[in-house]
Every structure is written in C-alpha cells, then in structure tokens.
Structure 1
C-alpha cells in the first residue's frame, strides 16, 4: 500500500519532467529536419489568411494553418500569391512547397521554418492537458498522468508535433470536441452547449474529417448515456439549435467573416476540380450560392472531389491501385511502441475482466472503433498520421486499464502492478527519447531492419533528411551527385555537389542519393532538372522495374532516419 501511495505522489512530478524533456527535445529537433512535403503549402496558406484571403488549397481548413503562420507573420514574413496560382499549380508550388523560392535564400527559409513549427507544438500541449482532464474524468488523476506520459512519448505524435502540418492540431481539436461532448452529456446547460458548439466547429475548421469522426462519436456517447442511465433526451435536443448556431458562428469567425459566391473561389489545380464540379449536379449548383464563408463550402466540395480520385497506396512491397483496407491496422502495429501496444491490449482484457462498462469508458472505446472503421474505407494510404486522432484515446484506454488494475488487484499484488507499470512507462520514455530527432521514421521491432518493405511515405520518408544529406557530403571531395529524391524544394538551395537526375532505368556510377520513397518504386514521375521544381517528367516504366538495377548494391550510408540511401558505385 505504501508503494501505491508513493507511486501516486511521485507520478505528477515524473509526468511534468517527462513532458518538459520531451518538449525540449522537440524544439531542438525543429532545426534539424528539412522541410517535409506539406509544410510550406500550409505556411503559405496561413500567411495568406493573415493577409486577408484564403484560396490556397481550401480543402484544408485554415485553423491549424493559422497557427503555423502566426509566428512567421509576427516576425514580418509575407507571401505574394500568384494570380495564376490555380492554373499553374505546380509551377507556383502552393501545396508542393516551391513557394519557398519566393524568399531570398534557403538560409532565410531555414531561419523561419522552426518558428512555423513552434505554432503546432502549442496543440500538443493542449492535447496533453486535455488527455489529463479526460483521464481524470474517467478514473481519477492517476489515469490522467499515465495517459499524458504515454502520449507525450509516442513517436508518431512527437514527430508530427515538430512539423508545420495539420495532423497534431486535428488530434488536439478532435479530443477537445470529444471532451466537451462528455461534459455536455453530463450536464447540457447553456455554458456547456455553447462550448460544445465551439469545440465541434474548431475541429471541423482544422480538418474536415472531424465531421466523420466526431459526429458518430457524439451519437454513440449520447446513446450510451441514455442506455446506462435511462435519461430523458429532451434536455439534449432543446440545446441543439444553440449548439448549431455557435458552431456556424465559429466557422464564420475562423474564415474571417467572409461572404461571397462559392464559385468565385478558384478551383484547386492539383485536383482537376473543375471537371469534378461540372459532372456533379449538386456541386455544380453549389457554385452559384452566395453564402457566409464561401471558402468553407468550396473546401468541402474540393475534399469530396479529392476523395473521388483513386490514389495508389503502397503496402508490404506492393503498390495497390486504390489502397488497402489493411494499411492503417498494419501501420498502427509497426509504428506504435510495443509498450503502448501491450498496455492497450492488456487494458482491454482488464476492462472486460472487471466489467468496468460505464458510458464514458464505452464511449472512449467507441471513438477508437469509429476511427479505425472509417480508416478501412479510406483510399488515402499515405501515412498513419491521417488517423493520429486515435492516439489520445489509445493512451487513455491504456492508462485506464492500468489504474483499474492497481485499484482492484489484491493488496499482495499491488507491488507487481505498480512496478510493472513503472517499468513499461520508463521503457516507452527511453524508446521515445532515443529516437531524437528521427521520430518520424520510427518503427518498432515488427518493422525490422527494412521498414520500407512495409510502408513508406510520411511514415518513413517525407523529405526530412536533406540537412543530414548535406552533412554527409560536407568536406568530401565529391564533384557530382546523381539524385532521385522525394522533395518539395529547390535542391540547389542545399549545399550539395553538382547534381543530375537519375531515372528509374538509368544505370549510373559514382555517388547516388535516392529517397526511400523513390527506392520503393512508388512515383511514376521525376524532375528533368534537380534544381527546378517545375518541369516534371513522367515515365512509363513498370512498377517492378523501377530502380531494379540498384537492388544488387548495398548503400554506404542511410541518413535522415533511414529516409535517404547513399551509394558509391564504381563499376
């Protein structure tokens, strides 16, 4: 019993220390990772929002992008949006990232990129605080503290907390919305109804998929509450108009109280959205609507159009035309620390064994199920980050099971429960900190020595290794370098030897740098000139034959957490 009391007293201090060290490591890593694929597009869109409009890739709502741009904007950064942005999408580089070329030099861009990333770290801190609140609401402070430690040391979460993207904000606002739903169901008064409406709107204004995650979660939580407590539904239904009003007003606020024709918002060039709208009678009619926040409705339409396009998905060495229903379960198994997986599945067993089936606990489990069910029908198989919203709930379930065990186990076995929990938490902390600064490319033991055999893209190679590629060649007497690198920035702004592009069937000798994304044969396009992010060339080379000649050689090094392979071929 003394051990249990000591465990309870020590855990708050340990939690604060773990979060503090993790944040320090994350801030330090922000200047060590080169620009990833989506970052500059989000930063540019955020800067555009501060400058009074929002037309850069509106299928991504602005709330997280605002936070990516707030510090650069306050430091004086501005962006000029080209008039022909949407007609010449890749030439202007809105989402691809080449708009960074507007800035004077790579040194200038590098100097403000970490500041953009700092804005996203705020959402991690928000999420950790919310995890504590939800955990405390579920089963006391001990649950909250353990959940915070687990989430703050989950490599996927840590990785995306250091990047100026939309994923961690989506995770935070989704959890915020669920927490406010729980409070509202407990007591559907005026204040909680207003907060719930605002929370839902912020989640949707961060990522449109929140509509799919949060709405069914609300219905499930409400159904469970009524089922468990036989509550009258009228107090909930009578607050719905107020919730809807607060949600719509919040959306309009985030979109700067704009008003106009949906059709005046240009089509996103990368989506070929013009044909999509023309072929859909509802979308076509929608273009003639004059509404508040037209960018919001245009973004919803563009998101619909984007989801109609079959996207190839790489899994287990195969490039599938429309992705695979197994992508997210497999990614979850190989990208999640074994400690967290063990605690999660153990907690499920503990919950069932002790029959702890309150409406809140069942609701948290339901959110996890909903997110994974939705992932099965998604054809966007380009990264586990797209269901990053599930990880706070995984941490909560894992912590809940542990605390239930500590509360209910025989007094003679409390020692083993506390010591076992402490060992698992310590192991996860060590695993996380040891990955610095390469959390993005983290795989557990199931990933093996060649995790690229399983998944790639933003789970392994998202363009983050260019600084380390520079460091590798610094001081070496290398005149030329053949490259096939997944990037969204002018390669000549990096301090590298003279470069030439290497195609999928071109056998070359000398120094070669190839991204894991390209090595796994995924893209069917490349650049004619490595230093020109404009002239794309496609190639009609079968998947099996792309860079097949390179397979017989072993790389002399891997940099960027294994995201870039370096070869020196003399024969």
Structure 2
C-alpha cells in the first residue's frame, strides 16, 4: 500500500491513474450511448439544439437554457443532419418528429454524436474533481474521488445521454470550486473566473440559480473569523469584486442568448410563477424598469417554476401522491446509491465528526461541501414535481469529495478495522456497473436490484424510454400480429416497423403486450398510437398487468406479456373474489 501511495504521489503516476479511470468511464459510456434508444426528453433536446444553430432562435423550447443543447448539436454542423424545418410548437416532441422524418436512416448516429459531447463533459468534470480533491486532501484522496465518479452507475447513466443533468452537475462542481478559490484568494482574477463559470451554469439549467446563495454562504463560511486568511481587503474592494462577479455572470448569460430580448421593461412580461408574478404587481411607475436578462431566459424560468409548483403525480414505494413526498429524494438515494458508496458515506461522516478540529477536516470545509447537498436535496424535497434522481445529480461530486479523505486514513497498522471497511467498500463498487448498458435502471441489492426497482421508483429512475431498440429486436425474433403496446417515451413506436394497438384499459384481453414499467405502475401518460396521434392513459389504467407474470423483460424497463383466455379468467375470478370479500355479510 505504501508503494502504491508513493507512486500516486508522483505527478506522472497520479495523472496516469486518473486518465485510466476517466478513459474507462468514457468507453463504457460510449457503449451505453450506442446501445440505448433515444430517451424521453433527449428526443427533442438535440433537434432544438440544431435549430438554435441554424436559426439563432431560442424560443423553440424555453424549459431548458440553450448551452448544452447547442454543445450536443455542435458535431451535427459537420454532418448532413437536417432539422426538418418544423413549425413552432407547444409540444417539443414535434421537433423530434421533424428531425426523425428528415434523417430517417442517420438519426441514431446523430443522437450518439450528441451523447458523446456529454461524455466529454463527464471527463472534464472528473478532471476538475481530481484537481480539487488533490488540493484539498492529497493525491490518494483525489484518486478515490475520481474512482467514485467513474464507478457510479448514476453518473454513467446520465453521462451517456444528451440531456443537461450531467452537465449541471459538472457546472455546480466548477462554480463552487471557483468560488472556493475566490473566497480564499480574494482576487480580481478569481472573481472574474467565478462570474464566467456561474454564467455558463445559468445557461445550462435553471437549477443553477441556487449557486448564487451557495457562493455567498461559501464566502462567509471560509472568511468570517478565519485566522488562516491573512490578507486584509477593504470592504469597498470586496463589494467591487462581487459586483464584477455578478456583472460577468450576467454578461455571459445574455451572450448565451445572443442578447435577444435583454433589458425589456417589466410591463412587457406577464409572469405566472409565484416568484416572478410579484414583479407584475409592482406600481406602474416601476413597471418601466428594464430587466437585464434575455426574454427567453425569463419566460423559460417562469414557465419552469410554474410547472414545478403545480400538482403532479409522484410515485414512491407503490404509492401515488399529487403533492410529492418530502422523503422522496432521501429514499431515492437509499435505493439507487451503491451500497459501497453508502458505507463510505457512513465511515466518512464518523471521521468528519471525529476529526473536525484538524486542519485537513475543518468545519469550514465541511460546511462548503455540505451546503450544495443540503440545499439541493432540501428544495427538491419540497417540490410537487419529483421525477428522478437526476434532479439532485449535482450533489454527487460533493458527496465524493466528502468521502475522499478516507483514502488518507488507510493504514493497516493504525486503523486496521477502518482500512478493511474502506477497502471492501471500494472493491465492491465496480460490481455496480455489471448491468451495463442499463445504468439508468440501476438499483442496489437491498432495494431488489433493477428487476424490482419499479416497485420503489419509476420514470427516469428506471424507465425513460431507453429500451425501444430491444423491443424492436424482440419483435423481429418473435413476430406477433398487432401486439398491444404502451410505451413510455417520445420517439414514435411506429419506427419499430410493426403495427400495434393500444392495450385495453382497466381490464385484460388475450394477446401479446409490451408495457413500459412506468405505465405498469400506473403513471398517467399520453402514449403514441400507430398513426402518431396521442391516447391519454389515466392513473393505473394498465395496472391490471401487475397481476400477471411477464414472459420477457427487456432491459428492465419494458415487460412483455402473453395473456391467454385462461389468464384473463384467473384475473376476473380474482377480482370477483376480492369484491365478494369486501361486501358486508348478511
């Protein structure tokens, strides 16, 4: 162990280890990117990004800022990819339909190119994680942090998709790192860098608005009554640097939208969210104040906040609620974090408490690393719209940084039991990748694994439409006339090349059916019919399929059923018996 530590301490050995780990993650992610079908939101993200490049407009779908869509679509500019010239639509899936129609043979290749750009961001985020962890705790700790990053099925799942979730996790890490540098050095250089990175985060995902209070809290945590900070800076200079930070951030945000609609007066907007509606209630004299933000950013943020404030069906442990679960994300972490990481978090918590007075593990640093975790999980837990672990993915790098110092405590002579526990936990982590390429559907062993994940969580936690290609291969191998299909995804299932029908609602009929896991557990959804039109499924419309055992499971997100007349009779008999049991005796 000493020899290995010495090699890692050497810069050449250190970067060799980091490079091998990140290359492994990139290759495994590329394998997933090639194997999985286009996921739910991903279907329109890439086409909207390409539309942005072609038209310079950002109003096709305002629910997400443009940076990552544009980044993902960048390689498509060097191909023959076409947008299909869609009309402006309130349904973003229409942009995906137009893209699919315009590129019928190359669409998957183009989506893989877009996914590869996210994998590049995952590699860059891993490098930054290595740099910060080494500055904080040393080379062995940095290697452990990057090992956790590359062995996390949740990180890998999102790194292989053309969505914003992995990117915003990286920008959270980058912004807090730059803010840490700025707080310690208090220089113009780091004020400007932090502002630029904060601006990039704002045009990645609206969640980045939380970085503003995080940076301010971080500043006070690191500087107030800190004897290790020797420099005395005038208050005017400090305020000027903070002003420059926010000015640069605002400039980058506006530049990301090409300054379109910037500085429009409040009276030109009609907001709907509780946060921004207040502006419309200001006195008329103040309504002429220009807002220094792009129109599409403000309207998108307002729409996103309005949607998040509405009642939305949320599923947890076989129960549905319209107002969400305050414990949703706690249980999500319990079910979807590998047990090795959970054990390391417990060990790290004890060590932070035990060694909190040391220079290495100070309370100030603990506060810096915990603030994003607590703020993100806390706010997400209060939301009515809870759709998956991806909403709190930015907490992951900070959890890994909290664990990283354990690497410095590995010593078989001084800490024998602790060393064994750390090594066992670390060695177990590669096994969490054994479900490749199905990292999206990962659930740990005590939760029942991905086979039983849908009993706990659905939607992007396990079923985001990623297994349509598997269904196509299955139907080619097992031809069926007019099967029933209820697919939780936005890509038209008609691309399978097989005619299908909508399954009967609330009661079974004999036949072959393919049902997505989210719909199996009762999620209301508007599914695609064979002709491309929509059919609205109510809550638990297909829940009767839970009575039957699937004959085949395709990638953990689609179950195939072969229902016979005898199966239907068994269901009817069970329903009748249940009704008789509920009837009062006479």
TM-score of the pair, normalised by structure 1: 0.88
Cα deviations across residues 80-105 of structure 1 (Å, max 9, x unaligned)?
5544423xx36x624xx434443242
Question: Who is 2:20 aligned against?
Answer: 17
For the residues of structure 2 that align with 1:98 and 1:164, how far apart are their CA atoms? 17
Q: State the secondary structure of the residue aligned to 2:514.
A: strand
For the residues of structure 1 that align with 2:291 and 2:399, how far apart are their CA atoms? 42
| 2:68/2:204 contact within 8 Å kept | yes
- In structure 1, which of residues 190, 193, 198 is the aligned counterpart of residue 191 of structure 2? 193
Cα deviations across residues 281-333 of structure 1 (Å, max 9, x unaligned)?
63588899686622222222222322232211111111101111111110011
Q: State the secondary structure of the residue aligned to 1:413.
A: coil
* Residue 367, structure 1, aligned to residue 369, structure 2: no
- In structure 1, which of residues 456, 460, 485 is the aligned counterpart of residue 487 of structure 2? 485
* Residue 227, structure 1, aligned to residue 227, structure 2: no
Question: Who is 1:270 aligned against?
Answer: none
* Residue 76, structure 1, aligned to residue 80, structure 2: yes
Deviation at 1:393, TM superposition (A): 0.5
Structure 2: which 5+ residue stretches go unaligned?
Answer: 566-586
Matches within 5 A, 1:134-153: 134-153=132-151
Residues 508 and 194 from structure 1, CA distance in 2 versus in 1: closer, same or farther, beyond 3 angstroms? Answer: same
- In structure 1, which of residues 554, 558, 564 is the aligned counterpart of residue 553 of structure 2? 558
Question: Who is 1:522 aligned against?
Answer: 523
Question: Who is 2:584 aligned against?
Answer: none
Structure 1: which 5+ residue stretches go unaligned?
Answer: 268-272
Query: Which range is displaced more, 233-242 or 142-151?
Result: 233-242
* Residue 335, structure 1, aligned to residue 336, structure 2: yes
Deviation at 1:245, TM superposition (A): 1.6
* Residue 66, structure 1, aligned to residue 70, structure 2: yes
Deviation at 1:14, TM superposition (A): 4.1
Cα deviations across residues 513-551 of structure 1 (Å, max 9, x unaligned)?
000010001115444x2341x333354xxx4x5324323
Matches within 5 A, 1:528-547: 529-532=529-532, 534-537=533-536, 539=538, 543=539, 546-547=541-542
Question: Who is 1:56 aligned against?
Answer: 60
Residues 471 and 221 from structure 1, CA distance in 2 versus in 1: closer, same or farther, beyond 3 angstroms? Answer: same
Residues 311 and 537 from structure 1, CA distance in 2 versus in 1: closer, same or farther, beyond 3 angstroms? Answer: closer
For the residues of structure 2 that align with 1:188 and 1:335, how far apart are their CA atoms? 39
| 2:272/2:302 contact within 8 Å kept | no
Question: Who is 1:30 aligned against?
Answer: 33
| 1:217/1:366 contact within 8 Å kept | yes
Deviation at 1:503, TM superposition (A): 3.3
For the residues of structure 2 that align with 1:454 and 1:430, how far apart are their CA atoms? 21
TM-score of the pair, normalised by structure 2: 0.86
| 1:221/1:360 contact within 8 Å kept | no
- In structure 1, which of residues 450, 453, 459 is the aligned counterpart of residue 452 of structure 2? 450
For the residues of structure 2 that align with 1:4 and 1:476, how far apart are their CA atoms? 53
Residues 17 and 227 from structure 1, CA distance in 2 versus in 1: closer, same or farther, beyond 3 angstroms? Answer: same
| 1:182/1:360 contact within 8 Å kept | no
Matches within 5 A, 1:343-362: 343-355=344-356, 356-362=361-367
Question: Who is 1:159 aligned against?
Answer: 157
Residues 300 and 20 from structure 1, CA distance in 2 versus in 1: closer, same or farther, beyond 3 angstroms? Answer: same
Residues 523 and 284 from structure 1, CA distance in 2 versus in 1: closer, same or farther, beyond 3 angstroms? Answer: farther
| 1:313/1:324 contact within 8 Å kept | yes
Question: Who is 2:180 aligned against?
Answer: 182
Question: Who is 2:574 aligned against?
Answer: none
- In structure 1, which of residues 464, 467, 472 is the aligned counterpart of residue 466 of structure 2? 464
Residues 446 and 215 from structure 1, CA distance in 2 versus in 1: closer, same or farther, beyond 3 angstroms? Answer: farther
For the residues of structure 2 that align with 1:494 and 1:152, how far apart are their CA atoms? 34
Query: Which range is displaced more, 67-76 or 417-426?
Result: 417-426
Larger gyration radius, structure 1 or structure 2: 2
Residues 287 and 450 from structure 1, CA distance in 2 versus in 1: closer, same or farther, beyond 3 angstroms? Answer: farther
| 1:515/1:565 contact within 8 Å kept | yes
| 1:32/1:437 contact within 8 Å kept | yes
For the residues of structure 2 that align with 1:458 and 1:114, how far apart are their CA atoms? 19
| 1:228/1:358 contact within 8 Å kept | no
* Residue 377, structure 1, aligned to residue 371, structure 2: no
Question: Who is 1:124 aligned against?
Answer: 122
Deviation at 1:71, TM superposition (A): 1.2
For the residues of structure 2 that align with 1:416 and 1:548, how far apart are their CA atoms? 48
For the residues of structure 2 that align with 1:324 and 1:344, how far apart are their CA atoms? 24
Cα deviations across residues 162-182 of structure 1 (Å, max 9, x unaligned)?
000010111111111000000
| 2:183/2:223 contact within 8 Å kept | no
Question: Who is 2:245 aligned against?
Answer: 243
Question: Who is 2:582 aligned against?
Answer: none
Matches within 5 A, 1:231-310: 234=235, 235-259=237-261, 280=277, 282-283=279-280, 293-310=294-311
| 2:195/2:246 contact within 8 Å kept | yes
* Residue 41, structure 1, aligned to residue 38, structure 2: no
For the residues of structure 2 that align with 1:118 and 1:276, how far apart are their CA atoms? 35
| 1:260/1:290 contact within 8 Å kept | yes
For the residues of structure 1 that align with 2:531 and 2:142, how far apart are their CA atoms? 49
Question: Who is 1:387 aligned against?
Answer: 392
Deviation at 1:227, TM superposition (A): 3.3
Residues 275 and 199 from structure 1, CA distance in 2 versus in 1: closer, same or farther, beyond 3 angstroms? Answer: closer
Q: State the secondary structure of the residue aligned to 1:77.
A: coil
Deviation at 1:481, TM superposition (A): 1.1
Query: Which range is displaced more, 359-368 or 168-177?
Result: 359-368
For the residues of structure 2 that align with 1:446 and 1:72, how far apart are their CA atoms? 43
Question: Who is 2:437 aligned against?
Answer: 437
For the residues of structure 2 that align with 1:292 and 1:431, how far apart are their CA atoms? 43
Residues 548 and 64 from structure 1, CA distance in 2 versus in 1: closer, same or farther, beyond 3 angstroms? Answer: closer
